[in-house]
Structure 1
Amino acid sequence: MSTTQSERLRELLEPLVSSKDLDLEEIEVASVGRKRVLRVVVDSDDGVDLDQIAEISRELSEKLDESDAMGDGEYTLEVGSPGAERPLTEHRHYLRAVGRLVKFQLTEGGDDLIARILEVDDEGVDLEVPGVKGRKPTARRLAFDAIAKARVEVEFSRKDKKEEEA
Structure 2
Amino acid sequence: MQTETIIGALEAKINALLEAHPAHFLVEVRIKPTNNIKVFIDSDEGIILSTLIEYNRKLYKEIEESGLFPADDFSLEVSSPGLDEPLKKHRQYKKNVGRYVHITRNDATVVEGKLLDASDEGVIVETETGKGKKKEIKQETVLFSDIKTTKIQVKF
TM-score by length of 1: 0.79
1:31 is aligned to 33
2:130 is aligned to 132
Counterpart-to-counterpart distance in 1, 2:70 and 2:154 = 39
Counterpart-to-counterpart distance in 2, 1:17 and 1:54 = 13
Counterpart-to-counterpart distance in 2, 1:41 and 1:153 = 19
1:14 is aligned to 15
What is the Cα-based RMSD across aligned positions, in Å? 2.1
Question: Of 98, 101, 110, which residue of structure 2 is paired with 1:112?
Answer: 110
Matched, 1:154 2:154: yes
Query: 1:77-123 deviations in whole A, cap 9, x for unaligned?
Result: 1111110133122222211221111111223x421110111112122
Counterpart-to-counterpart distance in 2, 1:24 and 1:146 = 23
Cα separation, partners in 2 of 1:69 and 1:19, compared to 1, 3 Å: farther
The alpha-carbon deviation at position 149 of structure 1 amounts to 2.3
Q: Unpaired runs of 5+ in structure 1?
A: 158-166
Q: Indicate the larger mover: 38-47 or 125-134.
A: 125-134
Cα separation, partners in 2 of 1:51 and 1:141, compared to 1, 3 Å: same
1:88 is aligned to 87
Counterpart-to-counterpart distance in 1, 2:85 and 2:29 = 15
CA contact (8 A) 1:105 1:147 kept: yes
Counterpart-to-counterpart distance in 2, 1:26 and 1:53 = 14
Counterpart-to-counterpart distance in 2, 1:65 and 1:89 = 28
